[in-house]
Amino acid sequence: MDNTIKNNLETIFNNFREMIKVETVVGQAVQIGGATIIPFVDVTFGFGSGSTDGQGSRAGGGGGAKLEPAAVLVIKGDRVEMFSIKKDGYQASAFEKLIAMAPEIIDKMKKDKYIYIKDEDEEAPAADKEK
User: Which residues partner with 49 through β-bridges?
Assistant: 61
* H helix or E strand, kind and range, residue 67: strand 59-76
Domain that holds residue 9: 3-130
Give how far the C-alpha of residue 120 lies from the chain's centroid of Cα atoms, to the nearest Å.
30
**Count of domains forming the chain:** 1
Contact status, residue 51 vs residue 8, Cβ threshold 8 Å: yes
Q: What is the pLDDT of residue 112?
A: 67
Q: What is the pLDDT of residue 113?
A: 63
pLDDT by position in tens, the chain (length 131): 556 667 777 877 777 777 666 556 788 888 888 889 898 888 887 777 777 766 666 767 777 778 788 888 889 888 898 887 776 655 556 666 667 777 777 777 667 665 556 666 666 555 555 44
